[in-house]
């Protein structure tokens, strides 16, 4: 009887999870989606606690309290820190899967119940779980900048990485054939942990959106593998939903950079292009906030292109003030969002939403480009590669072929940047030397603040 109650709760939870994601497709119903997901989770946990096999509740209760105490503060991080929080939670998800797989292996080993297939499922769960755990910790470290964000490479890196993974898989296969060779199990665990670290170390900050999406997918697949181990269809369903979500996001990110998975994972982007940086002094033009404000005032259509620099400078609220000033003067202001702007999918959208900018003013790359010739001013706020015209024209550029926002085709471009120094990727951006481009040097928050002051009359005066 109890078993039926549990299964009914699982069934309802699975339905609620699907509805939850479905409702997320529209901002108007999205919050209902969160409610549905949370309700599904409560049902799943309650159904599990009814399980007759559960004999002790003390440890569970303690762990639930600890999880809540850690989880609540983690949900109140500033929105600029959302990418590292997300990476951290992938790490927790991977860890849980790895630990359950480990526990289950040794339990079944003692009971003599390890079959070849069970061992196979456990090995998959453990490899995916532990590599997701350390890989995500590395990603979180890079995003928090406690680990250098630039790619860390050494000769023969890919050979070493794939070799390690190969040994882990071989040890896993040996275990499937001889499940009682338990001494191989710690080898699989150790190599998976190590592989996760080595996989993410050579990946640079600009590729983080893809890496986070991929790790999201792995965390889901680890839950699926746990479902196969425990013969639990709810785990398989929910894990598969997470896995497919991560997969879709990774594909979108890769397309947005015109690169393949292999290239992101093994390409160590941004290391080799130190080349022509000092080759020639080229001329560029810069402008004062006052000049810029005058030009903005005369514009009828303005497009803002935000990038990671906006997040770093926490400039989104200043951007909103500028938007208000311009909108008040009848200027049509849009925000062109490139899929890989920022450090995770949708990063810019969330920051602009935080600054209370209506989401119907956010447009995608194709729409922005379609109207670019009629755009008077493009303001580039802390973005770089996604507006680099070399992606269209220079076949030798590492970003060649990447779909970009054609800021150079607007009548005037303001590029807000700290200096002419190319970012850590070291890719020279031709846009800054174009005739129609004016540099506004300084911290994004300060520069936009100065622009706003020009309009409100605190700084200079325009009216």
Partner 1 sequence: MEFALWPMLFVFLLATFLGIEVIRGVSRLLHTPLMSLTNAISAIAIVGSLIIAGEQKSDLSTALGTVAVAASMTNIVSGFLITDRMLRMFRKPEAPRR
Which are the catalytic amino acids?
385
Between CA 154 and CA 163, with CA 158 as vertex, the angle to 5 degrees is 120
Nearest distance in Å: CB 388, partner 1: 21
Nearest distance in Å: CB 76, partner 1: 8
- Does 50 sit near partner 1 (CB under 8 A)? no
Site for partner 1 in 99-128 (CB under 8 A): 99-100, 102-104, 106-107, 110, 113, 115, 117-118
- One residue of 80, 84, 210, 237 binding partner 1 per CB under 8 A: 237
Stretches 39-47, 186-194, 278-286, 369-377: which one binds partner 1 (CB under 8 A)? 39-47
- One residue of 2, 5, 8, 74 binding partner 1 per CB under 8 A: 74
The label of the residue with tokens 């200079």 reads 460
Stretches 54-62, 182-190, 293-301, 307-315: which one binds partner 1 (CB under 8 A)? 54-62
- Does 341 sit near partner 1 (CB under 8 A)? no
Nearest distance in Å: CB 72, partner 1: 6
- Does 452 sit near partner 1 (CB under 8 A)? no
**The residue count for the chain:** 463
CB 100 within 8 Å of CB 68: no
**Pair of tokens at residue 45:** 């946990």
Stretches 40-48, 264-272, 414-422, 448-456: which one binds partner 1 (CB under 8 A)? 40-48
If the CB atoms of residues 77 and 298 are measured against partner 1, the closer one turns out to be 77
Stretches 178-186, 199-207, 357-365, 381-389: which one binds partner 1 (CB under 8 A)? 357-365
**Pair of tokens at residue 292:** 């810029």
- Does 90 sit near partner 1 (CB under 8 A)? yes
Nearest distance in Å: CB 73, partner 1: 8
**Pair of tokens at residue 187:** 């080898």
CB 436 within 8 Å of CB 402: no
Number of amino acids touching partner 1 (CB under 8 A): 121
- One residue of 160, 178, 233, 401 binding partner 1 per CB under 8 A: 233
Nearest distance in Å: CB 188, partner 1: 15
- Does 353 sit near partner 1 (CB under 8 A)? yes
The label of the residue with tokens 């639930």 reads 64
Nearest distance in Å: CB 361, partner 1: 8
Site for partner 1 in 186-225 (CB under 8 A): 212-213, 216, 219-220, 222-224
Nearest distance in Å: CB 194, partner 1: 20
- One residue of 231, 366, 367, 458 binding partner 1 per CB under 8 A: 231
- Pattern 139-178, binding to partner 1, x per CB under 8 A? ----------------------------------------
Helices 82-111 and 184-200 meet at what angle, rounded to 10?
170
- Does 306 sit near partner 1 (CB under 8 A)? no
- Does 11 sit near partner 1 (CB under 8 A)? no
- Pattern 242-281, binding to partner 1, x per CB under 8 A? xxxxxxxx--x-----------------------------
Torsion of CA 185, 190, 193, 198, to 10 degrees: -130
- One residue of 235, 311, 380, 402 binding partner 1 per CB under 8 A: 235
In degrees and rounded to multiples of 5, residue 286 shows phi and psi of -125, 165
- Does 5 sit near partner 1 (CB under 8 A)? no
Site for partner 1 in 376-435 (CB under 8 A): none
- Does 79 sit near partner 1 (CB under 8 A)? yes
- Does 183 sit near partner 1 (CB under 8 A)? no
């Amino acid at each position: 009887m109890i078993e039926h109650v549990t299964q009914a709760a699982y069934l309802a939870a699975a339905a609620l999870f699907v509805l939850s994601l479905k409702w997320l497709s529209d901002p108007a119903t999205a919050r209902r989606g969160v409610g549905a997901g949370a309700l599904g989770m409560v049902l799943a946990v309650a159904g599990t606690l009814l399980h007759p096999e559960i004999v002790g509740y003390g440890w569970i209760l303690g762990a639930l309290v600890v999880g809540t105490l850690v989880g609540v503060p983690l949900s109140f991080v500033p929105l600029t820190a959302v990418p590292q929080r997300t990476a951290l939670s992938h790490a927790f998800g991977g860890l849980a899967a790895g630990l359950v797989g480990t526990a289950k292996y040794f339990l079944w080993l003692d009971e003599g119940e390890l079959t070849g297939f069970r061992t196979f499922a456990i090995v998959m769960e453990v490899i995916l779980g532990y590599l997701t755990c350390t890989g995500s910790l590395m990603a979180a470290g890079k995003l928090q900048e406690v680990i250098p964000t630039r790619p860390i490479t050494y000769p023969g890196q890919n050979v070493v990485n794939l070799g390690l993974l190969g040994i882990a898989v071989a040890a896993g296969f040996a275990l499937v054939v001889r499940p009682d060779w338990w001494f191989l199990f710690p080898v699989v665990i150790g190599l998976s942990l190590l592989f996760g670290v080595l996989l993410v170390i050579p990946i640079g900050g600009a590729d983080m959106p893809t890496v986070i999406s991929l790790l999201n997918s792995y965390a889901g697949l680890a839950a699926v593998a746990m479902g196969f181990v425990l013969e639990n269809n709810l785990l398989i369903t929910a894990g598969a939903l997470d896995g497919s979500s991560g997969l879709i996001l990774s594909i979108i990110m890769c397309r947005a950079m015109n690169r393949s998975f292999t290239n992101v994972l093994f390409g160590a982007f941004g290391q080799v292009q130190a080349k022509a940086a000092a080759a020639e002094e080229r001329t560029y033009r810069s402008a004062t906030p006052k000049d810029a404000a005058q030009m903005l005032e005369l514009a009828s259509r303005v497009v803002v292109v935000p990038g990671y620099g906006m997040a770093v400078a926490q400039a989104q609220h200043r951007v909103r003030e500028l938007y208000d000033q311009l909108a008040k003067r009848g200027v049509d202001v849009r925000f062109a969002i490139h899929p890989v702007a920022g450090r995770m999918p949708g990063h810019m959208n969330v920051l602009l939403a935080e600054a209370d900018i209506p989401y119907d003013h956010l447009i995608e790359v194709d729409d922005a480009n379609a109207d670019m010739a009629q755009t008077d001013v493009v303001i580039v706020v802390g973005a770089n590669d996604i507006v680099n015209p070399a992606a269209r024209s220079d076949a030798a550029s590492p970003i060649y072929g990447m779909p970009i926002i054609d800021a150079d085709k607007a009548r005037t471009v303001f590029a807000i940047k700290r200096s002419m120094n190319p970012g850590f990727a070291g890719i020279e951006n031709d846009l800054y030397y174009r005739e129609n481009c004016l540099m506004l040097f300084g911290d994004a928050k300060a520069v936009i603040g100065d622009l706003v002051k020009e309009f409100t009359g605190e700084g200079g005066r325009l009216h």
